[in-house]
Amino acid sequence: MMPTDYDLVIIGGGPAGITAGIYAARAQLKTLLLEKAAPGGQILVSDWIENYPGFPEGISGADLMMKMADQVKRFGVSIDSGEVKSVDLSGQIKKLFLTDRTVTAKAIIIATGASPKKLGVPGEDEFYGKGVSTCATCDGPFFRDSVVAAVGGGDSAVQETLFLTRFAKKVYLIHRRDQLRAARILQERAFANDKIEIIWDSAVTQINGSEAGVQGVSVRNVKTGQISNLAVEGCFMWVGITPNTAFIKDAVQLDAGGFVVVNAKMESSAPGVYAAGDVRNTPLRQVATAVGDSAIAATEAAKYIETLEA
């Protein structure tokens, strides 16, 4: 086999990518970890994590990721800044095309996670950053004593809504069903919180405002069709995620939602190409599952590379 720049390139510096880096370094693979933005991934925007073991009092997303990044650096893996734009996985040597360079590797791990989904309603793009947000930790403090809307019904939506009540005087939690999907413990906290009013069976149809920012949301009851307007100064949303797979969509098999299809060894349809964390087809997208996937992916990648060298 022709020489390559690296044994393994890990794409994405969230919990999955960083964990893969730790395992790869300990397997003594020549490893490159590429991250297009700040290392840490989605969990950076989470105020408080209570379900990742080892932190009995909980830990902020930023602190957890700082510790993970320190750990991978301790094993000599640096997190390089760079965005993979496209790939050529047709041969044994994997080619990754970045904005400014091309790198080659014997194996790769796709750990590019996902990005928050949009509602797709008028006003959303116009007021993004002017009251529309997907990050309560980043933007919640701007809404002290305000009335805000929060959209969604899963763990992230309820957890972040609870966080918003530290600042806002009232939060309308707008959910399109008649029950929440969040863990029972989060639901109970939301029901017990006087600042939260849940608007059931409803979907936001428009975000209204002026140059100054958001002034209200239009909400349609999905059962009756009735439209009402809520006066709010902010609209936060957690309505799911879109996998970051555009750059590999023609190179590996994706499922109908665009997530990378892998087997129990985290192998994708292309030999030597693994996927781990939120980017893959998985029933649960959490830090704990992302790090578990990556431990498997990096271990399997090391075995695959050994077969090439044999």
Ligand X SMILES: Cc1cc2nc3c(=O)[nH]c(=O)nc-3n(C[C@H](O)[C@H](O)[C@H](O)COP(=O)(O)OP(=O)(O)OC[C@H]3O[C@@H](n4cnc5c(N)ncnc54)[C@H](O)[C@@H]3O)c2cc1C
Of 70, 138, 250, 255, which residue is the catalytic one? 138
With CB atoms as reference, the residue minimizing the distance to ligand X is 113
Give the binding range for ligand X (CB under 6 A) out of 25-33, 35-43, 183-191, 267-275.
35-43
111 near ligand X, rule: CB under 6 A? yes
Q: Which is nearer to ligand X, 84 or 214 (CB)?
A: 84
Q: Considering CB under 6 A, how many residues would be counted as binding ligand X?
A: 38
User: Nearest distance from residue 201's CB to ligand X, in Å?
Assistant: 24
Q: Which is nearer to ligand X, 160 or 233 (CB)?
A: 160
**Closest by Cα among 118, 114, 156 to 260:** 114
- Alpha-carbon distance 43 to 19, whole Å? 14
Site string for ligand X, 112-141 (x = CB under 6 A): xxx---------------------------
Judged on CB neighbours under 10 Å (0-12, 13-18, 19+), 76 is exposed
Is 178 catalytic? The answer is no
Give the binding range for ligand X (CB under 6 A) out of 37-45, 250-258, 265-273, 299-307.
37-45
102 near ligand X, rule: CB under 6 A? no
Among 5, 27, 36, 154, binds ligand X (CB under 6 A): 36
41 near ligand X, rule: CB under 6 A? yes
**Closest by Cα among 305, 303, 301 to 19:** 301
Distance of CA 248 to the CA centre of its chain: 18
- Alpha-carbon distance 262 to 252, whole Å? 10
Q: Is the dihedral of CA 181, 158, 258, 304 positive or negative?
A: negative
User: Nearest distance from residue 233's CB to ligand X, in Å?
Assistant: 20
Q: Which is nearer to ligand X, 7 or 278 (CB)?
A: 278
31 near ligand X, rule: CB under 6 A? no
Of 5, 80, 135, 201, which residue is the catalytic one? 135
Contacts 24+ apart (CB under 8 A), 114-118: 114/42, 114/241, 114/242, 114/243, 114/244, 114/278, 114/279, 114/285, 115/241, 115/242, 115/244, 116/42, 116/237, 116/238, 116/239, 116/240, 116/241, 116/242, 117/239, 117/240, 117/241, 117/242, 118/237, 118/239
Q: Which is nearer to ligand X, 52 or 142 (CB)?
A: 52
Site string for ligand X, 43-62 (x = CB under 6 A): x-xx--x-xx----------
Is 139 catalytic? The answer is yes
Among 83, 86, 124, 258, binds ligand X (CB under 6 A): 83
Q: At what angle do helices 184-192 and 155-164 cross, to 10 degrees?
A: 30
Is 135 catalytic? The answer is yes
Please report which helix (H) or strand (E) contains residue 138, including its range: helix 136-139
Site string for ligand X, 141-170 (x = CB under 6 A): ---------------x--xx----------
Q: Under the rule (CB under 6 A), what is the footprint of ligand X?
A: 11-17, 34-37, 41-43, 45-46, 49, 51-52, 83-84, 111-114, 156, 159-160, 244, 247, 277-279, 285-288, 290
Q: Which residues are catalytic?
A: 135, 138-139
